[in-house]
């Protein structure tokens, strides 16, 4: 599994439509699902929750939960649906997540987490990984992080994705938790020094290829989040400069390849706005980008969008001077 660069699991962002769209831009970036709760998989419609397009691969399933039994069942279901990795969420700081006893609050219970990971690994041949933070509330010393990772390491987990901020549980909103706690990249670098045989992936506030490269000198991989969602063509720069792939599609190529997918999804009952909302940032920094966003907002990113609009979208790009060239994401 190549985890040199990956796109973080993001609620209401990295659904199957977003992942299909991003895969049109980058062949090599590892993609993650939104967090799926173990109990939802146990009680709900597994197909609706877990089914994905084969063209999204490689793709990892992120799970949320704290029941060893339910997590092991969800892990097996993920393997059966064809995912390439199972990831346990130990980093989400929201009040709702904490109330249900999963996410970052589990950093307080390393032994429970270890039990969950052991059970998950016992039912699958897939890699089981974790995504966590450097600490929580007033607990942000490196020693605590080291001890937490040591406990999880003993279960056989080999890959640790670390968001280099602490989580403020119940004190900040999820959005504030992405910005206010200071980044401490040095903690993640130190983990790689102290656990040289483990795969350490760094996450948090990384927005460009120029920022990715120095992190790769000190860790095994970089996970990007909001930058990939708001400026998705960043993945083209990553594909070229990190994965050394010169076969990069233009922005127009991406839309042309997306249209058949959109039409097939519409036949299944998917609404146009559920897909096209993910493309709002495709032309970020390019001439005509504001027109693209306005056209989508007014015609395709509304609940009752006219499906016929999709047939004219390429003409709208061509005749309104939207710059579709291959180039920097800006």
- What is the full DSSP assignment across 4-62? SEEE---TTTSSHHHHHHHHHH-SSSEEEEEEEEHHHHHHS-HHHHH---GGG-SEEEE
Q: Which residue has the tokens 């994905």?
A: 52
Sign of the CA dihedral running 162, 188, 31, 301: positive
Nearest to 103 by CA among 42, 177, 46, 44: 177
Rounded to an integer, what distance in angstroms lies between the CA atom of residue 323 and that of residue 22?
19
Q: What are the backbone angles phi and psi of residue 221, rounded to the nearest 5°?
A: -170, 165
Sign of the CA dihedral running 9, 10, 12, 16: negative
Query: Is 294 within 8 Å of 254 (Cβ atoms)?
Result: no
Rounded to an integer, what distance in angstroms lies between the CA atom of residue 110 and that of residue 148?
6
Kindly calculate the radius of gyration of the chain based on its CA atoms and give it in whole angstroms: 20
Region label for 6, one of left (φ > 0), alpha (ψ between -120 and 50) or beta (otherwise): beta
- Kindly list the catalytic residues: 92
Rounded to an integer, what distance in angstroms lies between the CA atom of residue 39 and that of residue 216?
36
Rounded to an integer, what distance in angstroms lies between the CA atom of residue 118 and that of residue 123?
9
3-state secondary structure of 139: strand
């Amino acid at each position: 599994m190549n985890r040199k660069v990956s796109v973080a699991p993001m609620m209401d962002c990295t659904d199957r439509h977003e992942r299909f769209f991003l895969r049109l831009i980058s062949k090599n970036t590892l993609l993650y699902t939104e967090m799926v709760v173990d109990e939802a998989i146990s009680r709900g419609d597994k197909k609706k929750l877990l089914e994905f397009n084969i063209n999204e691969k490689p793709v990892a399933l992120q799970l949320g939960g704290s029941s060893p039994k339910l997590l092991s069942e969800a892990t097996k279901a993920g393997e059966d649906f064809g995912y390439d990795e199972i990831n346990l969420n130990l980093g989400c700081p929201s009040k709702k997540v904490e109330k249900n006893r999963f996410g970052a609050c589990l950093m307080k219970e390393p032994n429970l987490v270890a039990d969950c990971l052991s059970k998950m690994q016992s039912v699958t041949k897939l890699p089981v990984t974790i995504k966590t933070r450097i600490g929580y509330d007033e607990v942000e010393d490196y020693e605590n992080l080291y001890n937490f990772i040591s406990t999880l390491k003993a279960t056989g987990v080999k890959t640790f994705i670390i968001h280099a901020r602490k989580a403020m549980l119940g004190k900040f909103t999820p959005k504030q938790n992405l910005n206010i706690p200071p980044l401490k990249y040095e903690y993640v670098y130190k983990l790689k020094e102290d656990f040289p045989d483990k795969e350490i992936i760094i996450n948090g506030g990384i927005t460009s290829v120029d920022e990715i490269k120095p992190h790769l000198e000190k860790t095994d991989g970089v996970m990007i989040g909001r930058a990939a969602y708001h400026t998705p063509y960043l993945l083209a720069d990553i594909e070229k400069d990190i994965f050394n792939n010169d076969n990069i599609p233009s922005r127009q190529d991406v839309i042309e390849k997306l249209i058949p997918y959109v039409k097939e999804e519409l036949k299944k009952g998917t609404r146009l706005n559920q897909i096209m909302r993910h493309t709002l940032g495709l032309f970020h920094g390019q001439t005509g980008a504001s027109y693209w966003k306005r056209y989508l907002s007014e015609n395709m990113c509304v609940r009752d969008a006219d499906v016929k609009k999709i047939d004219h979208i390429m003409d709208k790009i061509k005749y309104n001077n939207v710059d579709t060239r291959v180039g920097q994401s800006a």
